[in-house]
């Protein structure tokens, strides 16, 4: 079984040190992944919570506040703080639901969509470069690992988001 240092059999028996290296790689990759948007957000006095809200509202126009709460997994109080600034700054608007007038359906304004594009363009460029460097098999393996790390409910939410692309 000397085909390579970590053959398919070797992956089943990772050492604690190999796992630690993977954990550290995730930490540093996340820092890199968020660095570009963080620099943009800092100029606006926004944080990552604003970025996540804008991202998911863009991905799901007409999302309700309750649905956004479920996706983000934050408290209602913290989401309200984030949404308040996004409303006040003209990035997000709430429209009354068609069937249930009590619902607030969230949409990005043109200004909000422009910010979302700016933030996601930076992340897409980083992901594109990393995917190209790694190759298609590594990309598929990476996605498989990420999905396997998700809690079952988060995986269902993620898969539901993927289905909206099709």
Residues 121 and 54 in one domain: yes
Identify which of 106, 111, 117 has the alpha carbon closest to the alpha carbon of residue 82: 106
- pLDDT of residue 163 exceeding 70, the answer is no
Range of the domain at 86: 33-127
Residues 122 and 142 in one domain: no
Q: What mean pLDDT do residues 142-156 have?
A: 90
Residues 92 and 120 in one domain: yes
Residues 152 and 86 in one domain: no
Binning pLDDT at 50, 70 and 90, where does residue 7 land? low
At 108-127, the pLDDT tens digits run: 999 999 999 999 999 999 99
User: Who's near 50: CB < 8 A, 6+ residues apart?
Assistant: 41, 82, 85, 86
Residues 146 and 70 in one domain: no
- Residue 24 inside a domain? The answer is no
- pLDDT of residue 3 exceeding 60, the answer is no
Residues 142 and 83 in one domain: no
- Residue 4 inside a domain? The answer is no
Beta bridge partners of 107: 93
Residues 37 and 114 in one domain: yes
- pLDDT of residue 93 exceeding 80, the answer is yes
- Residue 9 inside a domain? The answer is no
pLDDT for position 158 = 84
pLDDT for position 10 = 55
At 23-46, the pLDDT tens digits run: 999 999 999 999 999 999 999 999
Residues 87 and 139 in one domain: no
CA 25 to chain centre: 18
- Residue 123 inside a domain? The answer is yes
Query: How many domains in the chain?
Result: 2
Cα–Cα distance measured from residue 38 to residue 32, given in angstroms and rounded to the nearest whole number? 10
Cα–Cα distance measured from residue 111 to residue 49, given in angstroms and rounded to the nearest whole number? 18
Kindly report the CATH number assigned to the domain that includes residue 76.
Answer: 1.10.10.10
Residues 39 and 112 in one domain: yes
């Amino acid at each position: 079984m000397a085909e390579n240092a970590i053959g398919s059999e070797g992956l089943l028996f990772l050492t604690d040190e190999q796992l630690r290296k993977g954990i550290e790689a995730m930490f540093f990759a996340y820092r890199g992944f968020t660095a570009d948007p963080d620099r943009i957000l800092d100029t606006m006095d926004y944080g990552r919570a604003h970025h996540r809200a804008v991202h998911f509202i863009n991905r799901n126009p007409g999302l309700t506040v309750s649905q956004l709460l479920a996706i983000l997994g934050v408290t209602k109080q913290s989401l309200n703080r984030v949404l308040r600034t996004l409303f006040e700054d003209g990035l997000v608007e709430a429209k009354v639901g068609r069937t249930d007038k009590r619902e607030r359906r969230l949409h990005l304004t043109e200004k909000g969509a422009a910010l979302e594009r700016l933030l996601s363009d930076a992340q897409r460029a980083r992901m594109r470069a990393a995917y190209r460097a790694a190759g298609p098999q590594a990309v598929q393996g990476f996605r498989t690992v990420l999905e396997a790390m998700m809690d079952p409910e988060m995986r269902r939410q993620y898969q539901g988001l993927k289905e909206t692309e099709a």
